[in-house]
Structure 1
């Protein structure tokens, strides 16, 4: 890995310098152009050390065609790097490779993805650990200048770049530039997202999965919903005062856990 503070994609994707931008984006630009409220500005101030525009893929430097339809405007794909402040991030005591500030980091990512109007491969870094974020962008049918984020897709854990395991090695190999779809920039970006989805599914079972991506998306989405429901039910359980209610809630949690286990078994097929 590079000795620089930045962990750029070139460290594990060998991106040619012809795509290099290497330009810092001041936090003030997000403040001024994003109409951020005081709470959002505080997030940037407390947790973001710097934002860097690293690479730009455009048909002027790569043989990939733009893609335009009524909802998508994909003229290029960009790579940006958000470096977090070391002193304000703390590892979770309950979960390995997670941080206590992950929800705040997710909010920062959402702001950056929303304000930079081109499709982004966003690499967030805390020391030697990184997490990759992506999201398709949909154009407003009434006003083409207005864009909204689709579902944000990210690696489900932080990857320690000093200790890469087999699944992470496979992910980095699959998202090599030459291994992505070069039909057009939408497919180029979408194939990157598909590999992140496949990686997340592989994490659940500890080995590389072979199911089609569409099926993996359905399973991942369903497991995400079930985990949210379990979290909500646990809150209800804490507030329950009657044994009958406690029994019902515990049974509801058990049913959802069984469904999650069955879905995980599908990933192993």
Structure 2
């Protein structure tokens, strides 16, 4: 069962319903042994659900000096139930590895991708704009960073999550061209992330939300690193200094969250 197929209202002529063998990703993406192990241990199935093209959705191609958005794919990854461990609401022990899987898949497939990762009745959505590599025109690079939503329990969606699901319905995506089409989804993820962080609707531009959210993400990483050092440190004075640094970073984060709430 693929959850995304139950919640998106997509025209039948966009359905692909094809399984992508993990071995195909191993070989094409030239994965190292560590990444292969992550795929083998955590992934039950990679499914190519939908293919949006000029012919089946009547959306124009978008081509400029940096981008070629000629079609958009929707890929769903189903995780192995026994090998993923939930440790809190919307949090899994393997979240870093799951994000690594998303990173590999979004770089491996040379098209803009709506990527969902599924665990039982929960979904996480990923997005990133792409552009052509200046070093190798046959390859794409991620433009900026890969963004994602929180894990959404489809049986208990919050108002913010309901709003996101509404925004990404096929009929609500901009069909001017494929860049606009994909960007509608990208912006919905940005707005969702801002609203989740602020705890409610954010009345800022998508660019402002994205900037603030990315700054918060960087601070979160720094705080996580410092807290790890604190847990490993025995020297009281060093621990005190690290705690002061962590407290200062948390204050910076709080200021950014307040910016979202303006």
TM-score normalised to the size of structure 1?
A: 0.91
Residue 242 of structure 1 and its aligned partner are, at CA, apart by 4.9
Q: Does 1:7 find its partner at 2:3?
A: yes
In the TM superposition, 1:169-184 aligns within 5 A as: 169-184=162-177
CA, structure 1 residues 107+62, in 2 after alignment: closer, same or farther (shift >3 Å)?
same
Q: Does 1:79 find its partner at 2:110?
A: no
CA distance in 1, matches of 2:134, 2:85: 42
Could you tell me which of 152, 159, 167 is aligned with 1:159? 152
Q: Does 1:201 find its partner at 2:197?
A: no
User: Does the Cα contact within 8 Å between 2:43 and 2:77 map onto a contact in 1?
Assistant: yes
Q: Does 1:112 find its partner at 2:105?
A: yes
Corresponding residue SS for 2:210? helix
Residue 86 of structure 1 and its aligned partner are, at CA, apart by 0.7
Write out per-residue CA displacement over residues 125-164 of structure 1, whole angstroms, 9 at most, x where no aligned residue. 1111111111222211243102122311111x21111221
User: Does the Cα contact within 8 Å between 1:70 and 1:141 map onto a contact in 2?
Assistant: no
Aligned to 2:203: 210
Give aligned pairs, total: 261
Q: Does 1:129 find its partner at 2:125?
A: no
Residue 199 of structure 1 and its aligned partner are, at CA, apart by 0.5
* Deviates further, 160-169 or 235-244: 235-244
Corresponding residue SS for 1:141? coil
* Runs (5+) with no aligned partner, structure 2: none
Aligned to 2:184: 191
Write out per-residue CA displacement over residues 226-266 of structure 1, whole angstroms, 9 at most, x where no aligned residue. 11111222233345555443333222222211121121112
Task: Compute the RMSD of aligned alpha carbons.
Answer: 1.6
Residue 79 of structure 1 and its aligned partner are, at CA, apart by 0.4
User: Does the Cα contact within 8 Å between 2:126 and 2:147 map onto a contact in 1?
Assistant: yes
CA distance in 1, matches of 2:66, 2:226: 37
CA distance in 2, matches of 1:13, 1:111: 24
Could you tell me which of 12, 27, 33 is aligned with 2:28? 33
